[in-house]
Amino acid sequence: MTAPNPVPTDAELAASLDGDFTSAHAEVNGTRLHHVTGGAGEPLVLLGGWPQTWWQFRKVMPALARRFRVTAVDLRGMGSSAKPETGYDKRTMGEDIHELIRHLGHESAFVAGHDIGASVGYHLAANHPESVRRLVTIDLGVPVDSWLRIPMLPASDEQQVALETGRGGYPWWFAFNQLRELPERLLVGRFRHVIDWLYGHMLVDQASVEEEARRVYAHAYDNPDAIRAGSGWYQTMRQDVAALATYAPVTVPILTLAGESSYAALREQMSPDLGTDIRVVEMKGSGHYVPEEAPDVVVRELTEFFEAHEG
């Protein structure tokens, strides 16, 4: 029997990208974060989501690196970063990034976050506005009070049909990831099924996420510590909601890029209660995984938004 091809290392993946990217680690806020940095220009920090790694930005990093010093981060608990027992509330994870920006030698940076990374970016901007020049959140808002009332069962026939046959539907993983120990027992060695199900339901174009990327993500999560850590991002959402209630509206300019199925909800959620300068843009033809499905549009939107800073 032929052995499967080994999954490339972070260093090999980084070296495969145009822009002279390198893989490194930083000791910040009592944890160890892995990051990949390349390019030249003003600093830009990219924060990813579940269940992916920094590699989710592979399609946008080379183009962005022509204008920015790009750092794609594995968040606390993600990929090659440390997976401590605690610290998965987004205020603490935002503190991680605040210290990472300083570690990299910058006083402040442009920040773009997808999925969980969007929430981390928002909490970073709320607590350390001096560190964030402008913020882009991609296809996720911020855990708010209404998230605590997501129904246990799909709320409509349309959600049930979507779960069975198509894209989108009921976010069952919000509840599943609340469980302690069971996800690790069920999913170790089987995480590729989760990857393929999520992409199958939340991509418009299945070919936009290739086989190698799916293997990279499945390998990153296919162990008990990684599954536990990923679940931790969801188990702390009640803390995130409580923290949000103590914040004034963020004054850092925010651009929200929303996949076509999320646009209406994000346009409502990203309200003046959250920020004084928020614009929501629909990414037509894209599902949830926008940086992989619409990379050219993401590069254009980020570049235009960031270059408008102070002028």
Condensed to tens digits (0 to 9), the pLDDT of residues 12-41 reads 999 999 999 999 999 999 999 999 999 999
Between strands 132-138 and 278-283, the pairing is unpaired
Annotated catalytic residue: which of 115, 139, 222, 240? 115
With tokens 């204008």, the residue in question is 67
Q: What does the angle CA 75 – CA 77 – CA 71 come to, to the nearest 5 degrees? A: 20
With tokens 């560190």, the residue in question is 131
How many residues in the chain?
311
With tokens 């990684």, the residue in question is 226
Least confident of 27-31, 52-56, 145-149: 145-149
- Express each pLDDT in 185-238 by its tens digit: 999 999 999 999 999 999 999 999 999 999 999 999 999 999 999 999 999 999
289 noted as active-site residue: no
Distance CA 163, CA 5 (A): 32
pLDDT above 70 (res 311): no
Cβ pair 45, 110 in contact under 8 A: yes
Distance CA 98, CA 119 (A): 14
pLDDT above 80 (res 167): no
With tokens 């270059």, the residue in question is 307
Annotated catalytic residue: which of 35, 98, 123, 288? 288
> Which amino acid type is present at position 43?
P
* φ, ψ of residue 11 in degrees (nearest 5): -60, -40
Cβ pair 124, 98 in contact under 8 A: yes
217 noted as active-site residue: no
Query: Tokens for 83?
Result: 């997976």
Least confident of 69-83, 161-175, 178-192: 161-175
Q: What pLDDT was estimated at residue 1?
A: 44
Q: What pLDDT was estimated at residue 252?
A: 97
Q: What pLDDT was estimated at residue 166?
A: 67
Edge-to-edge order in the sheet of strand 31-39: 22-28, 31-39, 68-74, 42-47, 109-114, 132-138, 254-259, 278-283
Reported confidence tier of residue 288, pLDDT bands at 50, 70, 90:
very high
Least confident of 64-68, 168-172, 287-291, 302-306: 168-172
Annotated catalytic residue: which of 234, 240, 263, 289? 234
pLDDT above 90 (res 60): yes
Q: What structural domains does the chain harbor?
A: 10-148+239-307 (3.40.50.1820)
Q: What is the mean pLDDT of residues 54-83?
A: 98
Distance CA 155, CA 172 (A): 12
Distance CA 311, CA 299 (A): 19
288 noted as active-site residue: yes
Reported confidence tier of residue 131, pLDDT bands at 50, 70, 90:
very high
